[in-house]
Amino acid sequence: MAIEYLSGIRPGAKIDLSQFANKPKIPSPETYLPDLNLRLRDLSERLNTQYGDFLENNSQIKMCGKDEEASRALIDAKESVWAKDSGKTKEMMLADREKNPANIAEIATTLLFDKVLKDEFIIVRASTYDDYENGADHLIIDKETGAIICGLDDAILGSSIKDDGEKKKLKIDKKMEKGGAEIKYGLTINEAGSLERKSLEHIPIFYFNLEKLEMNNILKSLASNNQELTESEMLTYGKLINSLLEQVAKYTADKTLHPALRNNLQSFAPSLKKMQNHIKENN
């Protein structure tokens, strides 16, 4: 059988490797962490200045109140077990968790939603307790109505051949079947338009999926410090909101949904329209 060579290549001849274009190397997501942390701090400072001292520097809700000590003890116990299981010190384990692409995707989604929706919504990260215990990562609060939804940590599609987001979908399904998310250290808007601390129950919770290339484009765009929304940001935002709308339709059609969860889902319907309008406005 004859050997087939690449077009233009002669057997025995020297090959000019310059003719083969190198694929651009995608930076590791953790490359962007220092810049992302600065942006989270800016987000916290802006909201704390406007509403009061509610957020940590990383835009997570502060844990306050009579259960704070017990909550911190539980967090410490969990982190000690995870560190032991990983064979690392707690500091090393936590540093690795921070560099995890899923954590970086969560930060990127928080900052992207804030960039698009900050005039109408408050977007914050859930407390460490609610992250560990209740599986919540984002809180999205409508400034006008106080309606709230939760976001679960983002699935990074394409990080392995088995990575199709199905685990996230199943995790969300189970939470919704049990009546939605509970948030111990929550926030809500009161009638005066001020933020106040409040434990929350039966909160709709959703997942967000990002392709690896999409996440890189968003990280790159956020790092550019462009105040205007870029095309890549709006494309990704549109995809995330359309996914959110599909999930809402799916759970709204579930007749077994807990009544309180259904009410909260319906209360957020006008907010979803406002979020969707931003796709139309920028297209």
Is 61 domain-assigned? yes
Q: Does residue 15 belong to any structural domain of this protein?
A: no
pLDDT value of residue 23 = 57
Helix or strand (DSSP H, E) at 210: strand 209-211
Do the beta carbons of residue 89 and residue 213 sit within 8 Å? no
> How far is Cα of residue 78 from the mean position of the Cα atoms in its chain?
22
Integer Cα distance of 22 and 74 in angstroms: 49
What's residue 22's pLDDT? 59
Per-residue pLDDT of the chain (283 residues; tens, 9 = 90+): 455 555 555 565 565 655 555 556 677 888 999 999 999 999 999 999 999 999 999 999 999 999 999 999 999 999 999 999 999 999 999 999 999 988 898 999 999 999 999 999 999 999 999 999 998 999 999 999 999 998 775 655 554 444 556 777 888 889 999 999 999 999 999 888 899 999 999 999 998 888 888 888 899 988 887 788 888 899 999 999 998 999 999 999 999 999 999 999 999 999 999 999 988 666 5
Number of structural domains found in the chain: 1
Q: Which two tokens stand for residue 179?
A: 């009546």
Q: Which domain holds residue 65?
A: 27-277
Please give the pLDDT value at position 160.
43
Query: What string of DSSP letters covers 78-142?
Result: HHHHHHHHHTS-HHHHHHHHHHSHHHHHHHHHHHHHHHHHTTTEEEEEPPHHHHHHH---EEEEE
pTM here is 0.85
Q: Please give the structure tokens belonging to residue 154.
A: 């983002």
Bridge partners for 183 per DSSP = 200
Q: Is residue 14 part of a domain?
A: no
How far is C-alpha 87 from the geometric centre of its chain's CA atoms? 28
Query: Does 17 reside within a domain?
Result: no
* 20 found inside a domain: no
CB 69 within 8 A of CB 76: no
Pairing of strands 181-183, 155-157: unpaired
pLDDT of residue 170: 85
Q: Directed axis angle between helix 231-252 and helix 269-281, to 10°?
A: 150
Residue 1 lies in a domain: no
Token duo for residue 106: 């969560």
